[in-house]
C-alpha cells in the first residue's frame, strides 16, 4: 500500500520547484506565463490525465449531490425491496442481479436494497475520507517537513526518525489496531460519525511522512538558494523567509503528492470498510458492499462487480490525473 508513492518523483520535484521559483519571480515583473499556466497547458494536452480529471469532477458532483440524485432516481439507499428477492435462495429475481428500469444496477441479495443508490451514497464516504485524510496529511507533513528542513539539527533528526519509523511499518495493521481500540461514542459523535473521524485522522496521520519527506528535502535545498540569501541580507526575519520565500515554492510538490495520495487513501478506506472497521451499517460504503458480496460471488456475481468497478474507476481516475499533474509540474517531463 505504501509503494505507489515511492516513485522517484522526489528527484524530479526539486527542478519543478526551481522552475516554480523562476516562473513565480518572472510573473511579477514581466507578466510572463505563470507556472500554473504552463502546467495547465501541459495538462490540457495529456488526454489520459484530462479524462481522469473529468471522471474525478463527475465523482465529486455525484458525491455532493447524492441525496438529490437518489431522490430523482426514485430509490432510497436503505429502503428494502423484498419483492425483488427470490424467497428460496435470497438472491435477486431477474437477470444480472435484478437489473431493470427501476434498479439500474440491480439490488442486493436478501433485503433488496438498490445497488445504484448505495453506490452513489458510497461515493460520499470514499471521497470524504480520501480528501480529508489527505488534508490532515498535508497539514502535518508541511508543518513538520518545513520545521525539519528549516531548523535542522536535532529537530531534523528527530522528525526524520519518526518519518522513517512510520513509513517502515504496515499501515493497514496499525490503522486497524487504532480503530478497533477506540470507543463507539466520543466527542459527541456516535456510530458512523466516530468511525469517519477516526479513519480521517488515522489515515492522515500515517500519510504525513510522504509529504513531510518531500517538503523537508525541498526546504533543505532552498534554504541555501541565492534568493533566500538575498532576502536574509536585506534583513528579512526567519518567519518572513519561511512564509514569503519558502512556502510559495513548496506548493507544486505538495499538490503533486496530494493528488497521488488521495487514491491510496480511498483504497485504504475501502479496505477498512471491507474488514469491518470502517463506517457502520446501514451507511453504505463500497468496501463494505464488497465484503458482503463475498458470500454471493457464485449466486449473484453482479453484486460483487459493481462496487469493485466503482472503486477501480475512482482510484484509476485519480491515479491518471495525479500522474498527469506530476508530469505537468515537472519541467523535465517531455513525455
Partner 1 sequence: MLAYLIRRLFAAAVMLVVIILVVFCIFFLVPKWAGVDIALNFVGKQADPAAVEGVREKLGLGDPVLVQAWEFFKGIFAGRTYAAGGDVTHCAAPCFGYSFKTEQSVWPVLTERFPVTLALALGAAVLWLIFGVAAGVLSALKRGTLWDRGAMVVALAGVSLPIYFTGLLSLAIFSYGLGWIDGEFVPLEDSFSGWIGGMILPWITLAFLYAAMYARITRATMLEILGEDYIRTARAKGLKEQVVISKHAMRSTLTPLLTMLGMDLGALMGGAILTETTFSLPGLGQKVLDAIKNHDLPFILGVVLITSLAVLIANLVVDILYAVIDPRVRLA
Give DSSP secondary structure letters for 174-226.
HHHHHHHHS-SEETTEETHHHHHHHHHHHHHHHHHHHHHHHHHHHHHHHTTSH
Q: Which range touches partner 1 (CB under 8 A), out of 32-40, 99-107, 216-224, 291-299? A: 291-299
- Assess contact for 283 and 125: CB atoms under 8 A: yes
Residues 110-149 as x/- pattern, contact with partner 1 by CB under 8 A: ----------------------------------------
- Name which of 173 and 234 has its Cβ closer to partner 1: 173
- Name which of 30 and 168 has its Cβ closer to partner 1: 168
- Assess contact for 182 and 202: CB atoms under 8 A: no
* First-last CA distance in the chain: 27
- Name which of 85 and 277 has its Cβ closer to partner 1: 277
Please tell me the number of Cα atoms within 13 Å of 207 on its side-chain side: 34
| Minimum CB–partner distance for residue 243 and partner 1 (Å) | 33
Please tell me the number of Cα atoms within 13 Å of 334 on its side-chain side: 1
Report the C-alpha gap between 171 and 280 in whole angstroms. Answer: 21
Residue 89 binds partner 1, judged by CB under 8 A: no
- Name which of 168 and 234 has its Cβ closer to partner 1: 168
Residue 333 binds partner 1, judged by CB under 8 A: no
Candidate residues 168, 188, 234, 239; the one interacting with partner 1 per rule CB under 8 A: 168
Place of cell 439500474: 104
Q: How many residues bind partner 1 (CB under 8 A)?
A: 48
- Name which of 109 and 263 has its Cβ closer to partner 1: 263
Residues 298-327 as x/- pattern, contact with partner 1 by CB under 8 A: x--x--xx-xx--xx--xx--xx--x----
Q: Which range touches partner 1 (CB under 8 A), out of 84-92, 127-135, 171-179, 215-223? A: 171-179
- For residue 88, what is its C-alpha cell? 428460496
Residues 178-197 as x/- pattern, contact with partner 1 by CB under 8 A: x-xxxx--x-----------
Residues 257-286 as x/- pattern, contact with partner 1 by CB under 8 A: ------x---x--xx--xxxx---------
In the DSSP assignment, the letter for residue 243 is I
Report the C-alpha gap between 329 and 24 in whole angstroms. Answer: 13
Burial of 43 (0-12, 13-18, 19+ CB in 10 A): middle
Residue 177 binds partner 1, judged by CB under 8 A: yes
Residue 172 binds partner 1, judged by CB under 8 A: yes
| Minimum CB–partner distance for residue 6 and partner 1 (Å) | 6
- Name which of 116 and 274 has its Cβ closer to partner 1: 274
| Minimum CB–partner distance for residue 162 and partner 1 (Å) | 10
- Assess contact for 121 and 286: CB atoms under 8 A: no
| Minimum CB–partner distance for residue 177 and partner 1 (Å) | 5
Helices of type H across the chain = 9-30, 35-45, 47-64, 66-73, 115-151, 153-168, 171-181, 192-222, 226-233, 238-240, 247-275, 286-293, 301-329
| Minimum CB–partner distance for residue 312 and partner 1 (Å) | 5
Residue 6 binds partner 1, judged by CB under 8 A: yes
Residue 240 binds partner 1, judged by CB under 8 A: no
Q: What are the φ/ψ torsions at residue 92 (nearest 5 degrees)?
A: -65, 145
Amino acid at each position: 500500500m505504501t509503494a505507489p508513492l515511492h516513485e522517484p518523483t522526489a528527484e524530479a520535484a526539486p527542478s519543478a520547484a526551481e522552475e516554480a521559483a523562476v516562473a513565480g519571480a518572472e510573473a511579477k515583473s514581466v507578466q510572463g506565463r505563470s507556472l500554473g499556466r504552463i502546467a495547465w497547458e501541459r495538462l490540457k494536452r495529456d488526454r489520459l490525465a484530462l479524462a481522469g480529471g473529468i471522471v474525478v469532477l463527475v465523482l465529486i458532483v455525484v458525491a455532493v449531490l447524492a441525496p438529490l440524485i437518489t431522490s430523482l432516481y426514485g430509490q432510497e439507499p436503505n429502503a428494502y425491496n423484498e419483492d425483488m428477492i427470490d424467497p428460496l435462495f435470497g438472491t435477486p429475481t431477474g437477470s444480472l442481479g435484478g437489473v431493470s428500469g427501476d434498479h439500474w444496477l440491480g439490488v442486493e441479495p436478501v433485503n433488496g436494497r438498490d445497488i445504484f443508490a448505495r453506490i452513489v451514497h458510497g461515493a460520499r464516504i470514499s471521497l470524504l475520507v480520501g480528501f480529508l485524510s489527505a488534508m490532515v496529511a498535508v497539514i502535518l507533513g508541511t508543518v513538520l517537513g518545513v520545521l525539519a528542513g528549516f531548523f535542522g539539527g536535532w529537530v531534523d533528526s528527530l522528525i526524520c526518525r519518526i518519518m522513517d519509523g512510520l513509513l517502515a511499518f504496515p499501515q493497514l495493521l496499525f490503522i486497524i489496531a487504532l480503530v478497533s481500540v477506540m470507543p463507539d461514542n466520543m466527542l459527541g459523535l456516535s456510530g458512523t460519525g466516530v468511525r469517519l473521524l477516526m479513519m480521517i485522522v488515522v489515515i492522515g496521520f500515517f500519510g504525513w511522512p510522504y509529504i513531510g519527506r518531500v517538503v523537508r528535502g525541498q526546504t533543505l535545498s532552498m534554504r541555501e538558494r541565492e534568493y533566500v540569501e538575498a532576502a536574509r541580507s536585506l534583513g528579512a526575519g526567519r518567519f518572513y523567509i519561511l512564509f514569503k520565500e519558502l512556502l510559495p515554492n513548496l506548493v507544486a510538490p505538495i499538490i503533486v503528492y496530494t493528488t497521488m495520495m488521495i487514491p491510496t487513501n480511498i483504497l485504504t478506506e475501502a479496505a477498512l470498510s471491507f474488514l469491518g472497521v470502517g463506517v457502520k451499517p446501514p451507511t453504505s460504503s463500497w468496501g463494505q458492499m464488497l465484503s458482503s458480496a463475498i458470500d454471493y460471488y457464485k449466486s449473484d456475481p453482479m453484486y460483487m462487480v459493481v462496487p469493485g468497478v466503482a472503486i477501480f474507476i475512482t482510484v484509476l481516475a485519480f491515479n491518471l490525473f495525479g500522474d498527469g499533474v506530476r508530469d505537468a509540474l515537472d519541467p523535465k517531463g517531455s513525455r
